[in-house]
Structure 1
Amino acid sequence: MNKLKFLRYSLFLILITINIGCDQISKSMVRERLDYHEQIQLAGDHVLLTKVENTGAFLSLGDDFSPLAKTLLLNLLPAIAMLGLLFWLFQGRMRLGMALGICCIIGGGIGNIFDRVAYGSVTDFLYIHVGLFRTGIFNFADVSITFGALFIIALGIWKGRKV
């Protein structure tokens, strides 16, 4: 492996690790310091911290699935997707911008999968409300996944070609 490829792959692993680390540290702090549904206002009522254990996926979708369906659709399928993205990432054929977006998606995905396997749910804790804009309750992994996806889309629009 040449030096440039080693540096590139090291950057990918560092970025993925930082994403997982920030996600897990923030969730650990919330689990230890907030009671379930306790609310802490950060910017008036525009940004709230509140602890929710989500047994489903985004916006609690799948919360009412059977245990087998949850295992398959919320643990196994995302784990296979993360492995596929990792394999694709380390093929070395994508542009750096695309790779950085993929790293964010992988880091966030692994963070949420880890929670589901280790705790049986994903700890969500951030809520934003500004004017008509309101979010569901989310976590750092969700931010990472969303940022990665939007970054890839923006690159595609900005470059006007395949990213």
Structure 2
Amino acid sequence: MKLSRTPFILGLIALNIALDQISKFAVRAYVTPYKSTELLGDKFILTNVENSGAFLSLGSDLNPTLKSIFLLILPIAVLAYVTYYILTQKDLDKFSVIGFSCIIGGGIANVYDRILYGSVTDFLHIDLGGVFRTGVFNVADMSVMLGMGLLLYSNFVVNKKAKQNA
């Protein structure tokens, strides 16, 4: 049985939102705010923090009006447009569809937090001894990054192969 395109897209978006919200619920319930817990030595760390801004707390110092525009209204408009785009553009390859769905799911999950709590719960941190280090992030952020990776792969690998075959 093949799942039709629209239910697949909506299901993938819902799965991304659900995974993010379940993880954040668990962190809010069981992890003390601002206390770090080592999961894999000092390389993978769990820390419950609230981010009132966007990526790496950008925009957290904005006045409430600008914060509403840039962290709620604009993202909702962009997410709505991208959702419309992937539902109507039937010629997108599977990597682009999955990538856009992950970005939309992660985006909706973080916007939902901003609406409900006024901030986004972040809780994961990776530090590979100076070689690779992240800020504190969450599952929605991972969804967005995975989606961006899939879009890049589609653009540079899949589309290049399609052009060579044409």
Per the normalisation by structure 1, the TM-score is 0.93
Distance in 2 separating the partners of 1:87 and 1:8: 13
> Could you give the per-residue CA deviations for residues 114-144 of structure 1, whole angstroms, max 9, x where no partner exists?
0000000000000001132100000000000
The ranges of structure 1 where at least 4 consecutive aligned residues each deviate by more than 2 angstroms after the TM superposition are 159-163
The partner residue of 1:48 within 41, 45, 61 is 45
Residues 61-109 of structure 1 deviation map (CA, whole Å, 9 limit, x = unaligned): 0010000001000001000010001100110232222111000000000
Tell me, in whole angstroms, the C-alpha distance in 2 between the residues paired with 1:71 and 1:160: 37
Question: How much has 1:15 moved relative to structure 2?
Answer: 0.6
Work out the CA distance in 1 between the residues paired with 2:159 and 2:20: 32
**What letter corresponds to residue 71 of structure 2 in structure 1?**
L
Aligned to 1:82: 79
Displacement, 1:154? 1.4
For residues 48-69 of structure 1, give each alpha carbon's deviation from its aligned partner in whole angstroms, at most 9, with x where no partner exists: 0000000000000001000000
Equivalent position to 1:111, from 109, 112, 115: 109
CA RMSD of aligned residues (A): 1.7
Gaps of 5+ in 2: none
Equivalent-residue separation in structure 2 for 1:123 and 1:82 (angstroms): 20
Is 1:31 matched with 2:28? yes
Describe how 1:1-163 pairs up with structure 2 within 5 A: 7-91=4-88, 92-131=90-129, 132-161=131-160
Structure 1: gaps of 5 or more residues: none
Partner of 1:51, secondary structure, is: strand
Q: TM-score, normalised by structure 2?
A: 0.91
Q: CA deviation at 1:160?
A: 4.5
Identity between Structure 1 and Structure 2 (%) = 41
Q: How many Å separate the matches in 1 of 2:127 and 2:94? A: 34
Q: How many residues align?
A: 160
